[in-house]
């Protein structure tokens, strides 16, 4: 199963990062979103990232231009008809993702793999929206995609070995490290990370310590590069809440119950760095 042409659905932070590493690895990339200005914004982020690489002398100007030339702008899911693999990186909402997969199934060639960058949602359920569940798989990239090495590869119930093998090989071509994971809520990364963040929020909520103290304990005591509350702000508190709700619903266990303070901040619009305020304020 040869992969040469890639379509990335979603030109936001994750989608543009995935598109960038695919183009750097030599793939032709269709970068798709609902509107052309969103696609252009994603490409502008990619240009800035590549310009930094040129400034740091990690690539030259010709290499940069060669990478940018591999992009094709797309605002129509019918462009999936040209792809060997489609990587969906839309909003983390199961209904929206299933609708996208249903449409992609109509347009993508019979041989094409349909992958999702979901951080917590069930691959098997998304696969059920298609007539090719054996060709549906999870590729959970870490943020920021150009920097982070890990990709969780998640098999659905019906995913064929040949499909897994092709995605594993592609991941290695992207200079990432593939790790095989089974289809459970949150997979490995967020099943471990999000309850830790949630517990840090509870620690703040119960007045055990200040936010600065909680983050300092985890940085200096556990050697984490940033504290859990700072990390939550960078991820987005709405995303953290959604993943905790997915874990809570998926396992039916109260140990995954989102902290009321996390809910309160999200309702207030304090979503973290992207909104200018979360546990910390950002100018």
Task: Report the alpha-carbon distance of residue 42 to residue 212 in Å, rounded.
Answer: 33
Q: Rounded to a whole number, what is the distance in angstroms from the first to the last CA of the chain? A: 48
* Residues 201-210, mean pLDDT to the nearest whole number: 98
Strands of the 85-88 sheet, one edge to the other: 71-74, 28-32, 5-9, 85-88, 113-116, 136-141, 150-155, 177-181
* Residues 208-212, mean pLDDT to the nearest whole number: 98
pTM: 0.92
Decide if pLDDT at 107 tops 80: yes
Decide if pLDDT at 1 tops 80: no
- Cβ neighbours of 115 (radius 10 Å): 28
Decide if pLDDT at 174 tops 90: yes
| Domains, the chain, ordered by start | 5-181 (3.40.50.720), 190-275 (1.10.1040.10)
Strands, E, within the chain: which ranges?
5-9, 28-32, 71-74, 85-88, 113-116, 136-141, 150-155, 177-181
Q: Is 126 annotated as a binding residue?
A: no
pLDDT at site 34: 96
Q: Is 119 annotated as a binding residue?
A: yes
Decide: 189 and 150 in contact? Cβ < 8 Å: yes
Out of 74, 88, 140, 198, the active site residue is 140
Q: Is 16 among the catalytic positions?
A: no
Q: Is 162 among the catalytic positions?
A: no
**Nearest Cα residue to 244 out of 165, 203, 170, 185:** 185
In the 8-state DSSP scheme, what is residue 221? Answer: I
Decide if pLDDT at 69 tops 90: yes
Out of 74, 117, 152, 198, the active site residue is 152
Decide: 127 and 133 in contact? Cβ < 8 Å: yes
At 177, is the pLDDT very low, low, confident or very high (cuts 50, 70, 90)? very high
Decide if pLDDT at 78 tops 90: yes
* Residues 189-193, mean pLDDT to the nearest whole number: 97
Task: Report the alpha-carbon distance of residue 73 to residue 29 in Å, rounded.
Answer: 9
Task: Tell me what the pLDDT averaged over the chain comes to.
Answer: 97
Out of 119, 120, 160, 198, the active site residue is 119
Q: Is 172 annotated as a binding residue?
A: no
Q: Is 51 among the catalytic positions?
A: no
At 130, is the pLDDT very low, low, confident or very high (cuts 50, 70, 90)? very high
- Tokens representing 44 are 């502008």
pLDDT at site 202: 98
The pLDDT tens digits for 149-163 are 999 999 999 999 999
Q: Is 221 annotated as a binding residue?
A: no
Decide: 240 and 232 in contact? Cβ < 8 Å: yes
* Residues 171-189, mean pLDDT to the nearest whole number: 97
Q: Is 11 annotated as a binding residue?
A: yes
Q: Is 198 among the catalytic positions?
A: no
At 76, is the pLDDT very low, low, confident or very high (cuts 50, 70, 90)? very high
Q: Is 80 annotated as a binding residue?
A: no
Out of 16, 74, 117, 190, the active site residue is 190
Q: Is 33 annotated as a binding residue?
A: yes
Q: Is 97 annotated as a binding residue?
A: yes
At 248, is the pLDDT very low, low, confident or very high (cuts 50, 70, 90)? very high
Q: Is 148 annotated as a binding residue?
A: no
Decide if pLDDT at 283 tops 90: no
Q: What are phi and psi of 257, to 5 degrees?
A: -70, 125
At 241, is the pLDDT very low, low, confident or very high (cuts 50, 70, 90)? very high
Decide: 144 and 126 in contact? Cβ < 8 Å: no
Q: What angle do CA 230, 234, 239 make, to 5 degrees?
A: 115
Q: What angle do CA 133, 253, 242 make, to 5 degrees?
A: 60
At 272, is the pLDDT very low, low, confident or very high (cuts 50, 70, 90)? very high
């Amino acid at each position: 199963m040869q992969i040469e042409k890639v379509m990335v659905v979603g030109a936001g932070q994750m989608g543009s990062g995935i598109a960038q590493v695919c183009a750097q690895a030599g793939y032709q990339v269709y970068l798709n979103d609902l509107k052309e200005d969103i696609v252009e914004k994603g490409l502008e982020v990619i240009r800035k990232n590549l310009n930094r690489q040129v400034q740091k002398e990690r690539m030259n100007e010709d290499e940069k231009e060669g990478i940018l030339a591999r992009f094709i702008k797309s605002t129509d899911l019918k462009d999936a008809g040209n792809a060997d693999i489609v990587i969906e990186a839309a909003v983390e909402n199961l209904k929206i993702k299933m609708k996208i997969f249903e449409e992609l199934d109509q347009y993508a060639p019979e041989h094409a793999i349909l992958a999702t960058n979901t951080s917590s949602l069930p691959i098997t359920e998304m696969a059920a929206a298609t007539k090719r569940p054996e060709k549906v798989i999870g590729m959970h990239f870490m943020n920021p995609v150009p920097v982070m090495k890990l990709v969780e590869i998640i098999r659905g119930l019906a995913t064929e070995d040949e499909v897994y093998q092709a995605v594993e090989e592609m991941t290695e071509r992207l200079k990432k490290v593939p790790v095989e994971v089974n289809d459970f809520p949150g997979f490995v990364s967020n099943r471990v990370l999000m309850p830790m963040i949630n517990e840090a929020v509870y620690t703040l909520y119960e007045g055990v310590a200040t936010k600065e103290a909680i983050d300092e304990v985890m940085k200096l005591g556990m050697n984490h590069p940033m504290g859990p509350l700072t990390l939550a702000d960078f991820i987005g508190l709405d995303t953290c809440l959604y993943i905790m709700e997915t874990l809570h619903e998926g396992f039916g266990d109260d140990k995954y119950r989102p902290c009321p303070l996390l809910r309160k901040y999200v309702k207030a619009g304090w979503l973290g760095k992207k909104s200018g305020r979360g546990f910390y304020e950002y100018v």
